[in-house]
């Protein structure tokens, strides 16, 4: 670090750097941001993310303040094997291959990257230009897509439950969202914090889908993975954020088990403690916030949620209640205490059984137990 060139690099604590970045002129702002960036080994990635987001500010068109970086995509074809280091089928700048899974992954990674940069001025998953790596045609009859900590992996589906998983933008953006959560959270993948991890990935997945379509919160379908249910499956999607528990009711899959209220919280040892089940509760709270505020989900509700995810007060094992409090606090910081945004967040959490301001109230009642 060069202490002689600019004293701001040596002496100023983080909170002041963030204020300088927010309020200072261009030169000071750049110096403050440089310093925050240079101190990567000394500060957590999460603190930096918060500072950069605070510096960009809610009102300023974010992309205009920065020179636009470039997306970098690498799509590998596992050819129905399980080698994650298989041959590269398409990389940045290459033309269409004619392989639908390869081309869909490439296109939807690009759409998702554009969303993150144009809406939140975030350069890729890590905020620092990380290459978007994906593997398609993974394994045989593989009814899943997942984030392995480094890259996104997609099966072709068995044709009985799901079809090619790359067909769904909300699924691709959900998987990429897990990467963002890993860098900004993180949220431990178990129990309530795991359900928050899943919830945030659904929030990002649906926002990318809605942004691509130009949907308002009122008009959007709020479905995750509507494109991939196989023919013959009775259902409309993997999950409904608008109406958790109604996405499918099928002989093979059973009925959608997602609750929409803390009264119906599911205690289970399956699925890392029900991470894809209980995520229905915060999903519904986000939907209610977005619809309550009107307009587009990514403008206010999404900004509140994204900022809360990067807030240092979020713990890896945070509960729904802690996250709810944090979203309300962030809404008050961004838009003012007593603002319609803060009120909408509080009302949305109350609607799913998490009350934030009633003295002595626990605010939630635990419900069902599925299996030992």
Closest CB to another protein among residues 237, 334 = 237
- How many CA atoms lie within 13 Å of 12's alpha carbon, on the beta-carbon side? 20
* Least distance to another protein, CB of residue 190, Å: 8
Point out the catalytic residue in the list 175, 243, 328, 364. 175
The two tokens of residue 57 are 């500010």
Is residue 175 part of the annotated active site? The answer reads yes
Q: Exposure pattern of 82-110 as b/e (b: 16+ CB <10 Å)?
A: eeeebeebbeeeeeeeebebbbbbbebbe
Sign (positive/negative) of CA torsion 297, 301, 304, 308?
negative
Closest CB to another protein among residues 83, 150 = 150
Distances (CA, A) of 126 to 9, 65, 149, 342: 23, 19, 12, 28
Closest CB to another protein among residues 253, 347 = 253
Could you give the CA distance from residue 171 to residue 184 in angstroms, rounded to a whole number? 20
* Least distance to another protein, CB of residue 123, Å: 21
* Least distance to another protein, CB of residue 88, Å: 22
Closest CB to another protein among residues 257, 302 = 257
Point out the catalytic residue in the list 9, 137, 199, 276. 276
Using CB under 8 A, list all residues that contact another protein: 141, 143-150, 160-161, 165, 171, 174-175, 178, 181-182, 189-190, 197-198, 201, 225, 238-239, 248, 250, 252-254, 256-258, 269-272, 274-277
* Least distance to another protein, CB of residue 296, Å: 26
Is residue 227 part of the annotated active site? The answer reads no
Enumerate the H helices of 189-242 as residue ranges: 191-213
Could you give the CA distance from residue 117 to residue 127 in angstroms, rounded to a whole number? 9
Closest CB to another protein among residues 34, 250 = 250
* Least distance to another protein, CB of residue 359, Å: 36
Q: What length does the chain have?
A: 372
ω into 8 cis (within 30 of 0): no
Active-site residues, by number, are 175, 276
């Amino acid at each position: 670090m060069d202490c002689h060139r600019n004293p701001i690099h040596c002496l100023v604590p983080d909170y002041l750097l963030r204020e300088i970045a927010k309020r200072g002129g261009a030169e000071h702002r750049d110096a403050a941001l440089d310093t925050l960036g240079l101190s990567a080994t000394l500060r957590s990635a999460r603190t930096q993310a918060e500072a950069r987001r605070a510096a960009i500010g809610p009102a300023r068109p974010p992309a205009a303040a920065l020179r636009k970086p470039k997306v970098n995509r690498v799509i590998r074809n596992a050819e129905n094997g399980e080698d994650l280091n298989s041959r590269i089928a398409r990389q940045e700048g290459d033309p269409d291959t004619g392989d639908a899974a390869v081309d869909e992954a490439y296109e939807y990674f690009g759409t998702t990257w554009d969303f993150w940069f144009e809406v939140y001025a975030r350069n890729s998953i890590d905020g620092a230009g990380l290459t978007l790596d994906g593997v398609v045609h993974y394994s045989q009859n593989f009814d899943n897509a997942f984030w392995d900590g480094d890259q996104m992996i997609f099966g072709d589906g068995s044709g009985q439950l799901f079809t090619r998983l790359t067909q769904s933008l909300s699924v691709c953006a959900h998987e990429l969202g897990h990467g963002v959560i890993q860098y900004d959270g993180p949220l431990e993948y178990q129990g309530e914090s795991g359900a928050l991890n899943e919830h945030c990935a659904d929030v990002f997945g649906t926002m990318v889908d809605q942004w691509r379509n130009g949907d308002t919160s009122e008009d959007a379908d709020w479905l995750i993975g509507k494109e991939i249910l196989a023919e013959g499956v009775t259902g409309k999607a993997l999950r409904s954020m608008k109406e958790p528990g109604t996405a499918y009711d099928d002989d093979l899959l059973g009925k959608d088990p997602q609750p929409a209220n803390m009264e119906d919280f599911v205690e289970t040892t399956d699925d890392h403690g029900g991470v894809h089940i209980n995520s229905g509760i915060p999903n519904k709270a986000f939907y209610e916030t977005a619809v309550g505020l009107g307009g587009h989900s990514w403008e206010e509700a999404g900004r509140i949620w994204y900022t809360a995810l990067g807030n240092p007060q979020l713990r890896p094992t945070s509960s729904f209640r802690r996250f709810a409090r944090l979203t309300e606090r962030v809404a008050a910081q961004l838009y003012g205490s007593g603002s319609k945004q803060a009120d909408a967040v509080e009302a949305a959490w109350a609607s799913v059984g998490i009350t934030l301001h009633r003295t002595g109230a626990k605010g939630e009642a635990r419900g069902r137990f599925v299996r030992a």
